[in-house]
Amino acid sequence: MNLLGALSLRTDKANYRVGEVPTYILEGGQPGAALAWSSQLNGNSTGEYQAQYGQYLDDSGAISLVAGGPWQSSNRGYWKKEVLAILPDGSVEVARVNFSVSDTGAPVAPPAVVAPGTPASETGIDSLISGNYTIPGIGEIPKIAVLGGAGLLLFFLTNKK
């Protein structure tokens, strides 16, 4: 459990212009936690999923990172970035931020939200482990974290001595 407060993620700007470089600011985490990043552009995964780059929260549970180089024309759109802070005990804290990239620095609208009950287009194992579960009162939790926790609970419940 984090006694410092909730992990938060923000960027130095809400709307970037092509050519600008983003700064990501994390605060309120547990010192020494390893970081793993995921991102979506216009509602689609960019291929960055829980990627680790050897980054850790500092002694105050924070870090400021200038990352990724200048935004390119191909980066235009609405972004969602998620970071997992992996604690020494194996638990995780999650923080998210949304921002946009455009030629003018003007805000970009998020992609349309699919109505509840609409059939998912994903099939197979990817739909089971990719994306997030939305838990009322808590927010979005990565599916892989929920499934991992359920697996650990099942393991401990079935291996009593």
Q: pLDDT tens for residues 37-82?
A: 999 999 999 999 999 999 999 999 999 999 889 999 999 999 999 9
pTM over 0.95: no
Task: List the structure tokens of 154.
Answer: 């099942």
Where would I find the beta strands (DSSP E) of the chain?
8-11, 15-17, 23-27, 34-41, 44-45, 63-66, 77-86, 92-102, 132-135, 139-142
Question: CA-based angle 49:99:112, to the nearest 5?
Answer: 85
Q: In CATH, what number does 1-110 get? A: 2.60.40.10
Q: Indicate the domain borders of the chain.
A: 1-110, 121-161
